Amino acid sequence: MTTQTLPEAQAASATISPAVDVRLLGVRKAYGDVVAVDGVDLEIEAGEFFTLLGPSGSGKTTTLRLIAGFERPDSGRIELSGVDVTGRAPYERDVNTVFQDYALFPHMTVADNVAYGLRVKGVPRAERRRRVEQILQVARLPNVADRKPIQLSGGQRQRIALARALVNAPKVLLLDEPLGALDLKLRQEMQIELKRIQREVSEVGITFVYVTHDQEEALTMSDRLAVFNEGRIEQLGTPAEVYEHPATEFVAGFVGISNVLERDGRRFTVRPEKVQMHFGANDGGEPGRIRDVVYVGMFTRYVVELDSGGELTVVRQNLETSSADALESRGRRVRLEWRPEHTFDMERPGGHE
Ligand code: ADP
Ligand code: MG
């Protein structure tokens, strides 16, 4: 048996693992006393839709700006496609950014806005026109090429901002709350659009790094996501992993509803839709009392105070229950039951030191 040197071992493992497009190693960034990004390690694979999810101020935008090169880390290292770019300027990195406020040029037509990056790069006029036309098709904007941004709706402007970044076919597309300015209905439509666009450009192989504070958006759109809290990653995984197996109390509460109980020295979480609620006194499970009822149309959310301490939120579809039935159940005695395999142990708060 021969012993491999470290570079050889790395080269060997690189050939079998999927290509890593973005790698952060021990990245830290502080502004005065505020540590915005506190030692982040992250690997994003080529072609992945990867989301940075977290509350306001958790360091998502700073992380994105570090990847883009608008900020330099105090320590740590940033690699794009295996190349150390930590000291490189933004224009020396194969990334494009889409901001929440679109930042379109108001005096330019849609076509000129979209062509801008190609013109700066010196792409010839005919080629420019061909690529702009193509990307406007992908973004479903073919008939507005000659309009000015002001003559378009918010959703259309968002698509132009996206088209303007995509037309450059960057290795990595960075999106900072790109749908944040749209109302709920349009935002949900654009989520589907964005996923469609990502699939359509997948042969070019663009990696999407997406920032949002909206857990539903993160769960529906991402291949994988990282949950940020105070400049650190609390958990990284697929939407199903993070939702079904939250590793910390913070994740349990931020992604979904926090349902944490302590029993026999064990701290665990169980998701609301996994808890059965019985009204009969002789059924199995833990006894308690319904403290609160929230009728949400399709389903009702019940907050149950358990006799043995703690409370759980339970969700029930309104199959046969009317809103009046649901609301009348406030104060009633119930028993709650869940399967052991639907519970997940929690790290203690601050246990990720
Ligand atoms: P997020 O995008 O998750 O809301 P940010 O990355 O914007 O979070 O900010 C993380 C922390 O760093 C916050 O406390 C914020 O106030 C601080 N911060 C971000 N940018 C600056 C800056 N340019 N100067 C000072 N503090 C900043
Ligand atoms: Mg932000």
Q: In whole angstroms, what is the distance from residue 1 CA to residue 41 CA?
A: 33
Q: What are the φ/ψ torsions at residue 98 (nearest 5 degrees)?
A: -115, 120
Residue bearing the CA closest to ligand 1, atom 1:
57
Q: Nearest to residue 60, comparing CAs of 141, 181, 175?
A: 175
Atom number of ligand 1 nearest to Cα 61: 2
Report the nearest atom of ligand 1 relative to the CA of 63: 6
3-state DSSP assignment of residue 137? helix
pLDDT given at position 348 = 61
Ligand 1 atom having least distance to the Cα of 55: 3
Pocket of ligand 1 (CB under 6 A): 31, 34, 36, 54, 56-62
% of the chain exceeding 90 in pLDDT: 61
- Residue 276 pLDDT level (bands cut at 50, 70, 90): very high
What are the strands, taking DSSP E only, across 14-73? 20-31, 34-45, 49-53
Answer whether 247's CB lies under 8 Å from 262's CB.
Answer: no
Tell me which residues have their CB within 5 A of the ion that is ligand 2: 61
Strand partners, 345: 268
For residue 59, report the distance from its CA to the centre of ligand 1, in Å: 6
- Let me know: does 208 contact 50? Beta carbons within 8 Å: yes
- Which numbered atom of ligand 1 lies nearest the CA of 52? 3
Mean of all residue pLDDT scores within the chain: 89
Which domains does the chain carry? Answer: 13-249 (3.40.50.300), 263-274+285-345 (2.40.50)
Q: Are 173 and 95 in contact (CB under 8 A)?
A: yes
Please tell me the number of the ligand nearest to residue 60's CA.
Answer: 1
Using an 8 Å Cβ cutoff, are 352 and 234 in contact?
Answer: yes
Residue 35's nearest CA partner among 200, 230, 171 is 230
pLDDT at 340 over 70: yes
CA atoms within 13 A on the CB side of 13: 7
Nearest to 53 by CA among 244, 227, 223, 253: 227
CA 292 from centroid of its chain's CA atoms: 30
- Whether pLDDT at 128 is above 80: yes
Average pLDDT on 223-228 reads 98
Q: Model confidence at 253, in pLDDT bands (50, 70, 90)?
A: confident
DSSP, collapsed to helix, strand or coil, labels residue 148 as coil
Q: How far is the CA of 159 from the centre of ligand 2 (A)?
A: 20
Give the whole-angstrom CA distance, residue 186 versus residue 134: 24
pTM: 0.84
Alpha carbon distance 348, 16 (integer Å): 36
H helices of 171-308, where?
184-200, 215-221, 239-244, 249-254
Q: What is the pLDDT of residue 8?
A: 53
**Is residue 173 over pLDDT 90?**
yes
pLDDT single digits (tens) 79-109: 999 999 999 999 999 999 988 777 899 999 9
- pLDDT above 80 for 17: no
- The reported pLDDT for the residue numbered 2 is 44
| Pocket test residue of 29, 34, 64 for ligand 1, highest count of atoms within 8 A of CB | 34
CB 339 within 8 A of CB 273: no
Amino acid at position 80, single letter = L
Residue 204 — very low, low, confident or very high, per pLDDT cuts 50/70/90?
A: confident
Taking the centre of ligand 2 as the mean of its atom positions, its distance from the CA of residue 154, in whole angstroms, is 20
Say whether pLDDT at 157 is over 70.
Answer: yes
Ligand 1 center from residue 31 Cα (angstroms): 8
Instruction: Specify the 3-state DSSP secondary structure of 210.
Output: strand
Which structure tokens are listed for 34?
């505020």
